[in-house]
Structure 1
Amino acid sequence: MADTTINKNVLADSGIQQRHKVHQHIVSITVTVVLLAICAWFYTAFSSVHVVDLGVGSNLKVSGLREHWRQGDVVVMVRHAERCDRSTNPCMGDADGITSNGRDAALAVGAGLQKMGMDHVRMIASTKTRTQQTAQLLAGHSVAAQDWINDCDGGRGRPQGQWREPGAGNAQWLYRPV
């Protein structure tokens, strides 16, 4: 084919068109990635559970928790502080207990519970070293140990009621089968 002006223009235009198409694909992919990132951010920001810090401002008062706590209507379940066997932090004592960091965390939580008042509080813990250590740090004294707490069936049929403060409100132990 002879090299003519018409052929040169057609060939030059097809190169420009190819570059334009590549540019369009890059822009489309970039816009898609940005939109997906924005959607992911909105999903995580607005669909996750929002935990209110009751120690900030008037959150505790607004929540109504303090009044329910004073009436004995609240059940708080704490597992244990940081475990020695799953941490590289130094242990507070035995290897099946909690770490020094766990001790500090349990003391801080215990201080918060003490501020709430412990008049209607009845504490129990499992027989495991880590839960006994955590419970004692929370309460400031030794805590009754119960074997049935280690049972993972939700405590169905267990004597939880005997640990409630008589006439101390309407707190209940709840069990929902999975």
Structure 2
Amino acid sequence: MSLSFTGSNRRARNVLITVLAIVLLIIGSYFLFRTPRLTNLAQSSVVQLAPLKTAWANGDVIVVIRHAERCDLSSAPCLNAPDGITKRGKDTAVKLGEHYQKLGLDQADIFVSPLTRTRQTANFMFNRDVEAQKWLAGCKGIMLKTSLETKRPGHNLILVTHSDCIREIEKHLNVHAPEKPPYASSLFIVLGHDDKKPRALGFFYARDFNSDWMNQK
């Protein structure tokens, strides 16, 4: 009787060891192979932002910006059109655009999704009508590829689009953000100076965006 009991304990112990080994393997694989987390650039030092500063000066940057606060999903007052942005969203877009002006837009190509909320955001950011591109609304499966094809050498590319398109480009760059891209947030992608391979450098929330780092040494 005791032999049978001992044998059962041994089998139970072996099963427990096997289960623990599998759990540890799964946990280890997760930390080894999980996609890198995007950096909040507002928490970066001037030294850490140096590659972005250099890439911007060389025209090797793609910026993907989500539109400002949309009217139909907010209790805030609408600007005018129900499919557009709120008055608060307009103020955010204007302020964000001032920072991009300070970064320098002389060598920047700017395109926008044709939807009202993105067009309004871009128009208030850059104080002019921005050329619309249909692929910035229907971006599934093509966002990164088309962005790279659209970008001209020596010119930064600024794209005002939607959260789904930002998620799409994150997926193809094998990175993930801690949350759904907030309104008017900016994802910065840097192209290698020699190989032109895209790398997601990080993001700025609209509330944290500040262009002062561009002039700091």
Give the corresponding residue for 1:96: 83
Q: 1:116 deviation in Å?
A: 0.6
In structure 2, C-alpha distance between the alignment counterparts of 1:107 and 1:116, rounded to whole Å: 15
Q: Indicate whether 1:151 and 2:147 are aligned.
A: no
Larger Rg: 1
Q: 1:82, 1:157 → 2: CA distance?
A: 24
Q: Once the 2 structures are TM-superposed, how far is the Cα of residue 160 of structure 1 from its aligned partner?
A: 3.9
Aligned partners of 1:162, 1:152: CA distance in 2, in Å?
A: 14
Give CA-to-partner distance per residue, 1:84-126, whole Å, 9 cap, x none: 0000111111000000110011111111111110122111111
Corresponding residue for residue 123 of structure 2: 136
- Per-residue deviation at 1:149? 1.3
The alignment's TM-score, normalised by the length of structure 1, stands at 0.59
Partner of 1:68 in structure 2?
55
Q: 1:124-178 deviations in whole A, cap 9, x for unaligned?
A: 1111000000111122211011111111414269754563234448xxxx67198
Deviation, structure 1 residue 60: 4.5
Please show how residues 74-93 of structure 1 align to structure 2 within 5 Å: 74-93=61-80
Q: Give the root-mean-square deviation of aligned CA atoms.
A: 2.9
Identify the structure with bigger relative contact order (alpha carbons < 8 Å, sequence gap 6+). Answer: 2
Q: Is the 8 A contact 1:85 1:96 kept in 2?
A: yes
Residues 109 and 155 in structure 2, CA contact (< 8 A), matched pair in contact too? no
Higher strand residue share:
2
Instruction: Give the conservation status (yes or no) of the 8 Å contact 1:124–1:146.
Output: yes
Q: Which residue of 2 aligns with 1:176?
A: 172
Count of paired positions: 124
The answer as to whether partners of 1:80 and 1:131 remain within 8 angstroms in 2 is yes
Q: Secondary structure at the match of 1:78?
A: strand
Unaligned stretches of 5+ residues in structure 2: 1-36, 157-168, 175-217
Q: 1:113 to 1:144 in 2, by over 3 A?
A: same
Aligned equivalent of 1:117: 104
Contact kept? 1:71, 1:120, Cα under 8 Å = no
Gaps of 5+ in 1: 1-47
Which of 139-148 and 155-164 deviates more?
155-164
Percent identity between the aligned chains?
A: 35
Q: What is the TM-score of this pair, normalised by structure 2?
A: 0.49
